[in-house]
């Protein structure tokens, strides 16, 4: 019972870490896309 519980706890920690990482990656990607869109909009059409 104790081992099973610790396994679930570890899985929860890993999933929470993954979600945090995914959030950070998503934020970074969002910033990059914003910068890219700003740059393309500022640039004159070729």
Q: Please determine, for residue 20, whether its predicted confidence score (pLDDT) is greater than 80.
A: yes
Structure confidence at residue 34 (pLDDT): 82
Structure tokens at 15: 């999933």
In the predicted model, is pLDDT for residue 44 greater than 70? no
Mean pLDDT score across all residues of the chain: 79
* CA 14/CA 11 separation, integer angstroms: 5
Structure tokens belonging to residue 42: 């500022």
Residue 37, CA atoms < 13 Å, CB-side half-sphere: 6
């Amino acid at each position: 019972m104790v081992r099973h519980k610790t396994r679930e706890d570890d899985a929860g920690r890993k999933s929470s870490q993954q979600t945090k990482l995914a959030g950070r990656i998503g934020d970074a990607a969002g910033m990059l896309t914003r910068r890219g869109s700003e740059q393309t909009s500022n640039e004159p059409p070729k």
